[in-house]
Amino acid sequence: EAGVAQSPRYKIIEKRQSVAFWCNPISGHATLYWYQQILGQGPKLLIQFQNNGVVDDSQLPKDRFSAERLKGVDSTLKIQPAKLEDSAVYLCASSLAGTQYFGPGTRLTVL
């Protein structure tokens, strides 16, 4: 069974630029999550989707971050404009029930 796919794996941008990350969950998983992991910290949830609806986005900085999950499968997370403090690994996870399975992440560096 294929795991969670993410792209790109690495991205370097200047502050105030925009960036987008893509995630393809495990086939059949209705729930999809985006996490932010800053170096030396555990992952922090940004947003949870159930199919193509948002369940929890309470920790998403909505002035600069947006996410969508069209057709209830793939998802895109966007940052516009980026700040230095957005440098982190962005992890996508999916689940069928309670256990979440993670992708390899996208490492973002903002200069």
Partner 1 sequence: EDQVTQSPEALRLQEGESSSLNCSYTVSGLRGLFWYRQDPGKGPEFLFTLYSAGEEKEKERLKATLTKKESFLHITAPKPEDSATYLCAVQPYSGAGSYQLTFGKGTKLSVIP
CB of 4 or CB of 110, closer to partner 1: 4
Stretch that binds partner 1, among 14-22, 42-50, 64-72, 77-85 (CB under 8 A): 42-50
**Which residue pairs, CB below 8 angstroms and at least 24 apart, start in 50-57?**
55/31
Q: Which is nearer to partner 1, 96 or 111 (CB)?
A: 96
How far is 83 from 81, CA to CA, in rounded Å?
A: 7
| Ranges within 69-108 binding partner 1 (CB under 8 A) | 91, 93, 95, 98-105, 107
**Can residue 55 be called a binding residue for partner 1 (CB under 8 A)?**
yes
- Is residue 109 a contact partner of residue 99, using CB atoms and an 8 Å limit? no
Amino acid residing at 63: D
Q: Does 43 bind partner 1 (CB under 8 A)?
A: yes
